[in-house]
A and B are shown apart, each in its own frame.
Chain A
Amino acid sequence: MSTSTPPRLPRTGDTEQTAELLWKAVSAADEYAATELVLRLLDEGTDPESVLLDVIAQVQGRVGEEWAANRISVAQEHAATAINERAVTAVSTHSAARTAVTRGRITVACVDGEWHGLPARLLAEVLKLRGWQVDYLGAQVPTPHLIGHLHSTRADVVALSSSIATRLPTAHAAITACQAVGVPVLVGGAAFGPEGRYAKLLGADAWAPDARTAAGHLAQERLPRPASDHQRFDDLPHLGDQEYTMVARNSATLVRSVLTGLEDAFPAMRAYSELQRERTAQDLAHIVDFLATALYLDDEDLFTRFIAWTAQILVARGVPARSLPPALDLLDRELKDFPRAVRILRAGTHTLTTAPFTAAGNIA
């Protein structure tokens, strides 16, 4: 890209092609090409919101897909995201993005432990373009910081983002804390499940599948002040059986005993290097995390979707996924006194034995 003739741009409005160009720059980790491209689009008169959502967000979506399909590493995903972040900064400081405040005040943040800040950042920029006064608190905001911020500002609404389902218990705490200080919460992000079903379950005041819908929703109606007597437990009465608490608290012990059990069942595992062993333990820790989240929400679909995805990733990684059903089986044995956990684990096993990838012999 060290050339004095800049790459020829497609005609304004052809966002698909531009997104392809940006994807090339981002995947080559070429931040200068990326920012140049975005700035030139704006100079040519492309609507800044369209640059953010039809170009940058599209590319970021693709980064996520590539990562989910294990075609790029977590580090590469971070590199690509850092470059997309710079592209967003370039848009937000361009003169075309200068907008006067005509609406209320909104706080945009990611749930604690959520490191994917870009979707929230894009929403923040879109809301600024639409005339909101936006306080963007960034990725992984601890709930005490969020509440401290709400006490010292008069935000009309909080927009909370989470992409990882295992952050949902934390998201729930954040949602109820915001509502308790009298501020309604709009949530978004992949964590909230298909059609945002967990958003409703966790008592969020609104849910939106993407930044454009969120901005439209917020423009349409003022979210009412949440009721003051809402208790977190009211949303999820099943938590009374303590299964979530027990599994979440003992996750390290569970991982250890399942790992030992696997080594007994597959003597070949004893020859694993320390790194391989740790990786297996990490996979098991993920399974326990998702099990705990499924218990929190009392939703076995969340667990089966995760198990199906893990099986595919293992296959993509070239690791035989045959250890997955025995791992679930061992967990089942460890948790035999917890009926909900057992039901969820068996649903996971059922998915593995009935899913199409077993036919190909990749699993089992």
Chain B
Amino acid sequence: MPDLPWGRAPYPVLVADVHGAVVRCNDAAGLLLPAAAPGTPLTDVAPDWLCAAHTALSLPGPHAVPDTEGPLRGVIGGRCFEAHPTIRKDGSVAWWLVDDTDHQLVREALCMERGRTAFLAKASNVLLSSLNLARCMDVTAQMAAESLADAALAIAPARGQRLPVVTCLRGGAPVLSTLTVDPDDVPGLGEALRGFPPVPSRWIDPATAPAWMVPEGFGPVGSIVITPLPGHGVPAGALILLRRTENAAFRDEEEVFARLFAARAGAAMSAARLYAEQSTITDVLMRELLPPVLHHISGVDFAGRYRPSADHERIGGDFYDVHPAAVEGEASLVSLGDVCGKGLEAAVLTGKIRNTLHALLPMADDHQRMLGLLNTALLSSHHTRFATLVLASAVRRGNVVDLKLTSGGHPSPLIIRADGTVEEADTHGTLIGAIPNISSHTASASLAPGESCVLYTDGITEAKGGPMGDALFGEERLKRALSDCAGMPAEGIVEHIQMLAAQWLGNRPHDDMAVVVISAPRTHHLSAVNGHTRGRFTA
């Protein structure tokens, strides 16, 4: 139709009347819809979606095209078209068809890429936030089952004969199980778990897959792929993806995507594994340096509490120990001290001092000799640090607890009497590990039932803070607080003092703080009560 201005337009144009018959079309429309001769019913020429739209729009008389959300779209001859209508005066409609197949493909690809990027970002977020291997495996299996397959298994390298496996079905919760299976029975799995030699993702025949690989209730398996999880120099594990028969095949880009996910999961799982190994090492090494849990020994109550200078640490330069007597009826030995400095280096030295004192226990009744030998040992070690400490021997005689107290350059122990009087033990001496010849003076004291002796480090008295932030907690304030503690159980006193010091400090930095309390039990009950056995009434 050369007479029409749009006759040679590059876009197909088709006009149909109110009766649904083709009126005319241009060259491009003729190529697209070869049957579109004038007079032919539109239904014989065009696809249903276009016919339906035409019927809805083509009414007699002039009217406007109603507003719609986005253009009308559909497929003609295998390609995707937008159809833009123009209504003519007689009610017939000119359909302008715009091929947007490529545009559509690009849009779909963009949408998919955005989805994948969001998925990978989420995976990184979730995986990075945990240093717990089991939790990383949960996340790996669950996310893989949501987006990559119908079910997924995250497998960590075996511990001994046992293989930790987290299984997750799409829409389900991850389940951990420990299986005693040989990964080398499955092609590619052994290598993936060892991390050597490097292997690509590997398809295995679902028929040969062992039963443990297929989750219960999964149904017939269409495909199984085993992807190694790359670690940081250590094997991180493997990811197994299962798909059902209906959507079995993985497209190339899906495989690439799965590998990208596997790289993130592997990095997280190997980091979690390294962290677990490191923290196990730290825990084992630190176990001996942790302050012991104190309790009731041979009729004497002991309680202790320790707060290291840094909140993220558990150990520091203060230490205490209670050694029960080798023979019933003899005194238990309490030691509490403070190594110059804080943090790990100081903690290592506290370990040495505690070990040395432990070895010197046979002479526990001679405090001077113990301190002298400890002094020699510290002087000859390569450490340049020194320490202050106090030794206390405590033994129950009748209802009272007899004490021998010796200070090696340490703040004197304080004794809380039943009436609330607080006495300072008359002991003093040289600090340990600084000069070759030391001397000290031992004090004796007796605790009546309900009375206590408090050993503390200067972290308590030198706690700087208070309501105006600039005052030391100080010995006077400590004594005043202790005079309120008459008759309190040992744990109560320890906790009370640590709490007052902590509240005095607020959020300010502080030194290590240790408190040990030795108490004579209040009542006449003989005490086998330690929380594990029943007490007996004696009087």
Contacts and interface: CB of A to CB of B under 8 A. Distances in A.
Interface of A: 1-4, 6, 29-32, 35-36, 39, 73-75, 78-79, 81-83, 85-86, 89-90, 93, 112-113, 115, 140, 142-145, 148, 150-154, 180-182, 222, 228-229, 251-252, 255-256, 259, 278, 281-282, 284-285
A182 B529 contact: no
Given A81-B492, A142-B312, A256 B468 contact: yes
Interface in B92-116: none
A29 B272 CA distance: 48
A78 B529 CA distance: 20
Interface centre among B122, B134, B276, B468 (most CB of A within 10 A): B468
B488 A79 contact: yes
Contacts of B467: 252, 255, 278, 281-282, 284-285
A113 B502 contact: yes
B466 A278 contact: yes
Interface centre among B122, B487, B531 (most CB of A within 10 A): B531
Contacts of B342: none
Interface stretch (B255-263, B322-330, B389-397, B518-526): B518-526
B525 A182 contact: no
Given A79-B492, A145-B314, A151-B279, A4 B531 contact: no
Contacts of B279: 148, 151-152
Contacts of A75: 481, 484-485, 488, 492, 496
A85 B491 contact: yes
Size bin of chain B's contact surface: 35 or more
Contacts of B469: 251-252
B470 interface: yes
Contact of B487 (A79, A152, A229): A79
A182 B531 contact: no
A151 B275 contact: yes
B137 to A, nearest CB: 10
Given A255-B467, A285-B467, A1 B523 contact: yes
B191 interface: no
Interface centre among A181, A222, A259 (most CB of B within 10 A): A181
Contacts of A252: 467-470
Nearest to B301: A31
A157 B491 CA distance: 30
6 contacts: A82-B491, A115-B502, A145-B314, A152-B276, A284-B467, A285-B467
Interface stretch (B124-132, B217-225, B238-246): B124-132
A9 to B, nearest CB: 15
B429 to A, nearest CB: 31
Nearest to A229: B125
Contacts of B130: 151, 181-182
A74 B135 contact: no
SS of B interface (majority) = loop
Interface string B501-539: 010001000000000000000111101010110110101
A260 to B, nearest CB: 11
B489 interface: yes
Interface in B278-330: 279, 311-312, 314
**3 nearest A-B residue pairs (beta carbon):** A252-B469, A82-B492, A281-B467
Nearest to A92: B531
A146 B135 CA distance: 16
A281 B466 CA distance: 9
Contacts of B139: 182
Nearest to B534: A39
Nearest to B527: A32
Contacts of B125: 228-229
Given A182-B135, A252-B468, A74 B129 contact: no
A255 B311 contact: no
B495 interface: yes
B435 interface: no
Interface string B66-100: 00000000000000000000000000000000000
B499 interface: yes
A4 B538 CA distance: 8
A29 B489 contact: yes
B135 A86 contact: no
Contacts of B502: 113, 115, 140
Contact of A144 (B122, B312, B522): B312
Contact of B492 (A1, A78, A255): A78
Given A144-B312, A255-B468, A29 B132 contact: no
Interface centre among A29, A78, A143, A281 (most CB of B within 10 A): A78
B522 A2 contact: no
Contacts of B492: 75, 78-79, 81-83
Contacts of B276: 152
Contacts of B126: 182, 228
B312 A145 contact: yes
Nearest to B275: A151
Contacts of B487: 29, 79
Contacts of A35: 529, 535
